């Protein structure tokens, strides 16, 4: 059915987005390209040139605001992120586009031109497009792509993105700032037109945007430099760039011919063979676009006893953290009580959302979506439409932290500062994190992850949010200054961790929040395990592990959970792109700073794993 209906759906999509089937034959724009960028975000969830979305307001987390940013790597559209197109491969592609010369140019032109020609011929096989025209078109794409990558690598842009909190501007102020960044004084990026195009068919009070509408902006320098870049670029070239990205993104869902041409393009550019078969792409499609329905299967096999046990563990770990805070000698009493109050105000979601028990809610999620066995691409587009509609309609919603939305199959755990909540999906409640046979191993595994997420609520960014998830000053100046003195020790410790194989060091500033959370996670969980032992007594030993104490098993479990192997290339990418330290660094530095580890393993004072200088934040 894809072979029969794929192109019909593609033509319908291009018409909705305001794009021609054959952009090389059309001399004029169907509509201003800024509207097409907006419609692409609305109907395909693709960030092109501009990233945008709706998130909780900084000052009042019960309401939402629009945010604009550098385009996000993560997209909703399935089949665009193949295994060889994940973040690391995208960075590799960036490097090749940015740095390589004639060989890349020729390969890009050749294989991009094949996909372009395939679509143009399908639109009208009588179209006479020369090889020179195709090559010129393909090269223009590479030229714009290079410009955007150089823009993203700009020093001012990178510095602004390291800011934890976005800036706030009215729509009028933002327009004024991008206008003034251009040589003409009038930017092609018309923000009012952009947002109104997104909201054209969304039933909210925001069909028209007032000049006073407040927008959160992540990286104003990006928006300003982008304004000059698009001013220096022909409108038709920008339209073609958008057209190409649409074709490239939906190719796996149109027909086998387009899927294979996209695979060939990436294979030749990256020299990496594609590994995802059609059935895997179909699995990804259902999983990404119908997460609640796919995750609903958890209800059939979820072990409620395990969920209850992990909830108890979460409460125990939180209680240990509260005890550490009460015992601090550097924090004043008023700040202590407010901080502990935030801890106990945290919403805790474990296993699967409670509303999964209400089948009527589940059924209503897809009540406005029409699916048909014979129209695959339309099915994808209808599901995307519903998901993005809900995302932007949330602009007028009042946030209710009691109704949680998360994927129970996710193998992850996370803290959200805007709702002051911790989420632990059912997917992570398995080995090597949980069900390890002993509570010593469980606390060393999932327990340290629970402590990590709780500590995020009070890391260098999380502590800027109060118990309601509002960004405000709620600590005393004295306690804030004392915190900063101590956090600098962690930054220095990780800065000094030298990786000989790549002649580089960890960036302690970029990884600071995660490093603080790692440190707190192990301390909180170890203290919680000690409380567990006092209450329940020591556990029996496991066969094969009889020579280890239970405390040692706790630390072995923690280290085992992060056991990984890195190539030098992967290690460099981690340092460049990840807010986490490499896994082995996460284990080593945390344990170097922890006296109970040194005592448990009898590490001599002054040895590598028991240095004289230790960073202490929560003691």
> Do the beta carbons of residue 29 and residue 178 sit within 8 Å?
no
> Do the beta carbons of residue 58 and residue 470 sit within 8 Å?
yes
Q: Residue 260's pLDDT band (boundaries 50, 70, 90)?
A: confident
Let me know whether 322 and 257 are in one domain: no
Residue 329 CB burial class (10 angstroms; 0-12, 13-18, ≥19): exposed
Let me know whether 157 and 271 are in one domain: yes
pLDDT of residue 299: 82
**Averaged pLDDT score across all residues of the chain:** 89
Query: Does a structural domain hold residue 494?
Result: yes
Q: Of 125-134, 214-223, 408-417, 488-497, where does mean pLDDT reach its minimum?
A: 125-134
Percentages (nearest 5) of helix, strand, coil residues in the chain? 60, 5, 35
The 10s digit of each residue's pLDDT in 503-549 is: 999 999 999 999 999 999 999 999 999 999 999 998 998 888 899 99
Instruction: State the helix-helix crossing angle for 550-561 and 583-592, rounded to 10 degrees.
Output: 150
Give yes or no for residue 430 having a pLDDT over 80.
yes
What span, in angstroms and rounded, lies between the C-alpha atoms of 388 and 201? 12
Residue (of 300, 321, 147) closest to 228 by Cα position: 147
Q: Which domain holds residue 159?
A: 5-275
Residue (of 529, 555, 553, 597) closest to 319 by Cα position: 529
Let me know whether 235 and 309 are in one domain: no
Let me know whether 261 and 310 are in one domain: no
Strands 347-351 and 421-425: parallel
Query: Does a structural domain hold residue 381?
Result: no
Q: How many domains does the chain have?
A: 2
What span, in angstroms and rounded, lies between the C-alpha atoms of 226 and 47? 14
Let me know whether 158 and 47 are in one domain: yes
What span, in angstroms and rounded, lies between the C-alpha atoms of 615 and 108? 50
The 10s digit of each residue's pLDDT in 115-136 is: 999 999 999 877 788 888 888 8
Residue after which a domain boundary falls, among 257, 275, 293: 275
Query: Does a structural domain hold residue 419?
Result: no
CA distances from 174 to 139, 163, 211, 415 (A): 32, 18, 10, 31
Alpha helices by DSSP H, 537-619: 550-561, 568-577, 583-592, 595-600
Beta bridge partners of 42: none
Task: Quote the radius of gyration of the chain (alpha carbons, Å).
Answer: 26
Q: Distance from first CA to last CA of the chain, Å, rounded?
A: 64
Let me know whether 311 and 259 are in one domain: no
What span, in angstroms and rounded, lies between the C-alpha atoms of 375 and 384? 14
pLDDT of residue 444: 97
Q: On the CB side of 417, how many CA atoms lie within 13 Å of its CA?
A: 21
pLDDT of residue 149: 80
> Do the beta carbons of residue 419 and residue 399 sit within 8 Å?
yes
Let me know whether 196 and 320 are in one domain: no
> Do the beta carbons of residue 469 and residue 61 sit within 8 Å?
yes
Contacts within 8 Å (CB) and 24+ apart, 276-284: 276/82, 276/83, 281/78, 281/79, 281/82, 281/252, 284/78, 284/79
In percent, how much of the chain has pLDDT > 90? 62
pLDDT of residue 82: 42
CA distances from 105 to 133, 223, 269, 608 (A): 15, 28, 9, 49
| Helix (H) and strand (E) counts in the chain | 26, 9
pLDDT of residue 305: 94
CA distances from 544 to 434, 440, 600 (A): 19, 15, 19
> Do the beta carbons of residue 471 and residue 465 sit within 8 Å?
yes
Residue (of 350, 549, 519, 531) closest to 434 by Cα position: 350
Let me know whether 327 and 254 are in one domain: no
Q: Of 102-111, 155-164, 220-229, where does mean pLDDT reach its minimum?
A: 102-111
Beta bridge partners of 56: 64
Query: Does a structural domain hold residue 185?
Result: yes
What span, in angstroms and rounded, lies between the C-alpha atoms of 427 and 424? 8
Task: Identify the residue with better confidence: 72 or 54.
Answer: 54
| CATH number, position 514 | 3.40.390.10
Query: Does a structural domain hold residue 585?
Result: yes
Task: Tell me 523's DSSP state.
Answer: H
What span, in angstroms and rounded, lies between the C-alpha atoms of 202 and 433? 42
> Do the beta carbons of residue 449 and residue 521 sit within 8 Å?
yes
Q: How many CB atoms lie within 10 A of CB 381?
A: 21
Query: Does a structural domain hold residue 415?
Result: no
Query: Does a structural domain hold residue 418?
Result: no
- DSSP string covering 463-513, please? GGB-TTS-B---S-HHHHHHHHHHHHHHHHHHHT-EEGGGTEE--TTTTHH
- DSSP string covering 19-84, please? --S-TTT--S-SS-HHHHHHHHHHHH----SSEEEEEE-SS-TTSEEEEEESPPS--SSTTSS-GG
Section 156-175 average pLDDT: 88
Task: Tell me 587's DSSP state.
Answer: H
What span, in angstroms and rounded, lies between the C-alpha atoms of 519 and 513? 10
Section 400-405 average pLDDT: 70
Task: Identify the residue with better confidence: 161 or 442.
Answer: 442
Q: Of 25-29, 276-280, 400-404, 539-543, where does mean pLDDT reach its minimum?
A: 400-404
Task: Identify the residue with better confidence: 89 or 475.
Answer: 475
Let me know whether 176 and 92 are in one domain: yes
Give yes or no for residue 267 having a pLDDT over 90.
no
Q: On the CB side of 523, how many CA atoms lie within 13 Å of its CA?
A: 23
pLDDT of residue 83: 41
Using CA atoms in the order 259, 262, 268, 270, what is the torsion angle rounded to 10 degrees? -110
Longest dimension (CA), the chain: 82
Give yes or no for residue 612 having a pLDDT over 90.
yes
Query: Does a structural domain hold residue 18?
Result: yes
pLDDT of residue 212: 78
Let me know whether 258 and 342 are in one domain: no
Strands 167-170 and 214-217: antiparallel
Beta bridge partners of 169: 215
Let me know whether 183 and 315 are in one domain: no
SS (H, E, C) 4-22: HHHHHHHHHHHHHHCCCCC
What span, in angstroms and rounded, lies between the C-alpha atoms of 597 and 611? 12
Whole-structure pTM value: 0.89
Let me know whether 332 and 204 are in one domain: no
Q: Residue 84's pLDDT band (boundaries 50, 70, 90)?
A: very low
Q: Of 101-110, 247-256, 277-286, where does mean pLDDT reach its minimum?
A: 101-110
| CATH number, position 144 | 1.10.1380.10
């Amino acid at each position: 059915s894809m072979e029969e209906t794929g192109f019909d759906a593609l033509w319908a999509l291009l018409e909705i987005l305001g794009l021609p089937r054959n952009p090389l034959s059309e001399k004029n724009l169907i509509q201003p390209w800024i509207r097409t960028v907006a419609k692409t975000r609305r109907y395909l969830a693709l960030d092109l040139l501009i990233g945008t979305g709706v998130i909780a307001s900084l000052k009042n987390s019960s309401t939402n605001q629009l945010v604009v940013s550098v385009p996000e790597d993560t997209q909703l559209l399935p089949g665009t992120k193949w295994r060889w197109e994940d973040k690391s491969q995208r960075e590799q592609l960036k490097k090749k586009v940015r740095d390589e010369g004639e060989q890349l140019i020729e390969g890009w032109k050749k294989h991009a031109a094949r996909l372009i020609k395939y679509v143009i011929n399908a639109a009208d096989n009588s179209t006479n497009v020369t090889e020179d025209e195709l090559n010129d078109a393909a090269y223009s794409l590479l030229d714009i792509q290079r410009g955007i990558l150089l823009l993203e690598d700009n020093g001012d842009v990178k510095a602004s993105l390291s800011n934890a909190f976005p800036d706030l501007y009215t729509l009028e102020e933002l327009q004024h700032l991008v206008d003034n960044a251009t040589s003409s004084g009038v930017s092609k990026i018309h923000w009012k037109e952009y947002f109104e195009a997104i909201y054209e068919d969304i039933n909210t009070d925001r069909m028209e945007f007032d000049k006073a509408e407040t927008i959160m902006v992540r990286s104003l320098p990006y928006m300003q430099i982008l304004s000059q870049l698009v001013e220096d670029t022909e409108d038709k070239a920008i339209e073609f760039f958008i057209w190409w990205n649409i074709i490239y993104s939906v190719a796996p869902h149109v027909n086998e011919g387009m899927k294979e041409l996209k695979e060939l393009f990436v294979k030749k550019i990256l020299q990496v063979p594609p590994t995802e078969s059609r059935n895997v792409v179909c699995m990804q499609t259902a999983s990404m676009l119908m997460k609640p329905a796919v995750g609903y299967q958890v209800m059939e096999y979820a072990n409620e006893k395990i969920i209850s046990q992990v909830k108890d563990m979460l409460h125990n770990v939180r209680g240990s953290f509260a005890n550490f805070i009460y015992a601090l000698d550097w924090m004043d009493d008023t700040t202590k009580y407010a901080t502990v109050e935030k801890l106990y105000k945290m919403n805790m979601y474990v296993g699967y959302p409670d509303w999964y028990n209400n089948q009527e809610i589940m059924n209503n999620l897809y009540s406005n979506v029409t699916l048909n066995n014979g129209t695959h691409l339309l099915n994808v587009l209808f599901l995307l439409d519903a998901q993005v509609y809900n995302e932007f309609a949330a602009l007028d919603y009042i946030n209710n932290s009691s109704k949680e939305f998360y994927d129970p199959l996710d193998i992850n755990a996370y803290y959200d500062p805007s709702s002051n909540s911790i989420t632990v999906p059912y997917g992570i409640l398995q080995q090597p994190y949980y069900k390890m046979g002993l509570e010593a191993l469980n606390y060393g595994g999932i327990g340290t992850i629970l402590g990590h997420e709780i500590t995020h609520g009070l890391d260098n960014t999380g502590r800027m949010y109060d118990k309601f998830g509002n960004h405000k000053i709620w600590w005393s100046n004295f306690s804030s200054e004392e915190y900063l003195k101590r956090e600098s020790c962690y930054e220095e410790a990780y800065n000094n961790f030298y990786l000989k194989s790549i002649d580089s060091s960890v960036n302690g500033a970029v990884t600071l929040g995660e490093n603080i959370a790692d440190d707190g996670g192990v301390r909180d969980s170890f203290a919680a395990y000690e409380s567990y032992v006092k209450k329940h007594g020591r556990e029996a030993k496991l066969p094969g592990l009889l020579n280890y104490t239970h405390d040692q098993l706790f630390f072995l479990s923690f280290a085992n959970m992060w056991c990984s192997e890195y190539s030098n290339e992967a290690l460099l990418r981690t340092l460049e792109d990840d807010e986490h330290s490499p896994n082995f660094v996460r284990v080593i530095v945390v344990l170097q700073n922890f006296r109970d580890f040194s005592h448990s393993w009898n590490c001599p004072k002054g040895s590598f794993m028991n240095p004289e200088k230790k960073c202490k934040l929560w003691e």
